[in-house]
A and B are shown apart, each in its own frame.
Chain A
Amino acid sequence: AQSVSQHNHHVILSEAASLELGCNYSYGGTVNLFWYVQYPGQHLQLLLKYFSGDPLVKGIKGFEAEFIKSKFSFNLRKPSVQWSDTAEYFCAVLSGGSYIPTFGRGTSLIVHP
C-alpha cells in the first residue's frame, strides 16, 4: 500500500523567512502528487499538483514544489512566507491507477508577523 510521510509536523517561522516542507511517498510507479492547504476555518483546497512534465510545479500564492523521482519526494517551498500563510498543509499521492488519494499527516505552519 502506498504511504505518504510528512516529517515536519509543526513549523513556526517569522514573516519573510523561507519555507520548505518535506513530503516523501512510498510507491515506485507512476504517481500524481498534490499539496493541499487548509486555512483556519476554511475548506481544504488544492495548492498545486504534479501529473507529468516539468518536475518543478508552481501553485497559487507563490508556492512551488519539486518532484524528485529518485528521492520519492515532493517538497513544498516558498521563498518568503507571510502571516496569511498560517495554515495546515497536506501532501497527497495518487498512484497505480488508484482514484483515492492518500494523505500525509499534515504540517501545521504558524507564521509570526
Chain B
Amino acid sequence: SQTIHQWPATLVQPVGSPLSLECTVEGTSNPNLYWYRQAAGRGLQLLFYSVGIGQISSEVPQNLSASRPQDRQFILSSKKLLLSDSGFYLCASPRAGDTEAFFGQGTRLTVV
C-alpha cells in the first residue's frame, strides 16, 4: 500500500539557518507530489507541486525551494530561514487510481 514518510517530525532551527525536509513515497511510481504548509489559523497552503523528476512548480513566491532528485523523493529546502517560515509542513500525493490526497505525518518547524 502507498505510504508517505516525512522526517524529521519536529525541528527547531535558528533564524538564518538552512533547512532540508525530506519526503519519500512508497508503493507507487511516478506520483504527483505536493508540499503544503499549515500555518496557525491559515489552513493548508500549497507551496510546491511536482509531476516528475526535476519538475517543480511553485505556487507561492517565498523563501523556500523544492527539488525532486528521484521519482519518489521530494525535498523542501531553504538557504536562510525566517521566523515566518514556522509552521507545519505536509507532503502529500494522490492515492493511486484515485483523486483523494493522502498525507505524510508532517514536520513541525519552529524558527527561533
Interface residues of A (CB under 8 A from B): 6, 9, 32, 34, 43-46, 49, 51, 90, 92, 94, 99-106
Contacts and interface: CB of A to CB of B under 8 A. Distances in A.
Contact of B49 (A34, A45, A49, A100): A100
A100 B99 CA distance: 9
Interface string B82-112: 0000000010101000011111111000000
B44 A103 contact: yes
A9 B41 CA distance: 8
Given A44-B103, A105-B43, 10 more contacts: A46-B102, A90-B44, A92-B101, A94-B99, A99-B32, A100-B32, A100-B49, A101-B101, A102-B46, A105-B42
A102 B101 CA distance: 11
A71 to B, nearest CB: 21
Interface in B12-45: 32, 34, 36, 38, 41-45
A104 B43 contact: yes
A103 B36 contact: yes
Given A32-B99, A44-B90, A46-B100, A106 B105 contact: no
B43 A103 contact: yes
Nearest to B45: A103
Nearest to A9: B41
Contacts of B41: 9, 105
Given A49-B100, A99-B94, A99-B99, A43 B105 contact: yes
A6 B44 CA distance: 12
A62 B38 CA distance: 27
9 closest A-B pairs by beta carbon, nearest first, are A105-B43, A103-B44, A44-B103, A106-B43, A46-B100, A101-B101, A32-B99, A43-B105, A94-B99
A45 B32 CA distance: 18
16 contacts: A43-B103, A43-B104, A43-B105, A44-B90, A44-B92, A44-B106, A45-B103, A90-B43, A90-B44, A99-B94, A100-B46, A102-B46, A103-B43, A103-B46, A106-B38, A106-B43
